[in-house]
């Protein structure tokens, strides 16, 4: 019985690894140059937030992740937290989206001292709208980051289940390239 369990775990790990390589090459349905679809979802406080709330004001780093407070998801959130000032300096807002509940998000934000918004997409409608693929053989929701400029145009889609660092690095790189900083009114 122990041998069967060990073999199943090895097979699952191999499937995750192989699928990671395939998923990383798949593009999300939304591509660079597309207009980002608008949506409305509840944030960690239960308030409704729409993408259009940021139109003309800020760029948005919209990142989809599988689950609150576990493994790579926790690392990714903390990396976005630790670089949050760099994102705001570039005129962007960071927004995380998962299928977790508002209550789960509130707990995650509090535990990890996250300064950004988490949205609850419990039924996966926005995930589907953006074409975020499932990974690990369809077992896990995927991890994809989009950078959306002030005009609602997608400037980056980055898909990697295991490389949390690259999500943050690639998003910052694109924001610096497009050079969108907050306008100052006199």
User: Which residues does the annotation mark as catalytic?
Assistant: 73
Question: 182 with 87: CB under 8 angstroms?
Answer: no
State both tokens at 50.
Answer: 């729409």
* Run of H or E including 5: helix 2-25
Residues 6+ apart with CB under 8 A from 151: 55, 56
Residue 3 has which token pair?
């041998």
Hey, which residues does 157 pair with through a beta bridge?
A: 146
Nearest to 124 by CA among 22, 39, 10, 19: 39
């Amino acid at each position: 019985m122990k041998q069967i369990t060990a073999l199943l775990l090895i097979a699952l790990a191999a499937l995750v690894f192989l699928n990671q390589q395939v998923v990383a090459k798949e593009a999300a349905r939304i591509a660079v140059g597309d207009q980002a679809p608008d949506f409305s979802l509840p944030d960690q406080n239960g308030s409704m937030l729409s993408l259009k709330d940021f139109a003309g004001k800020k760029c948005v780093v919209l990142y989809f992740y599988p689950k609150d407070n576990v493994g790579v998801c926790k690392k990714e959130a903390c990396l976005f937290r630790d670089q949050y000032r760099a994102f705001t300096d570039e005129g962007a807002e960071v927004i995380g989206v998962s299928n977790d509940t508002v209550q789960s998000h509130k707990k995650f934000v509090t535990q990890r001292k996250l300064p950004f918004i988490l949205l609850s997409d419990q039924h996966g409608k926005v995930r589907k709208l953006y074409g975020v693929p499932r990974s690990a053989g369809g077992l896990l929701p995927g991890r994809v980051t989009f950078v959306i400029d002030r005009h609602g145009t997608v400037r980056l889609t980055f898909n990697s289940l295991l490389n949390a660092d690259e999500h943050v690095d690639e998003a910052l790189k694109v924001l610096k390239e497009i050079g969108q900083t907050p306008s100052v009114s006199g």
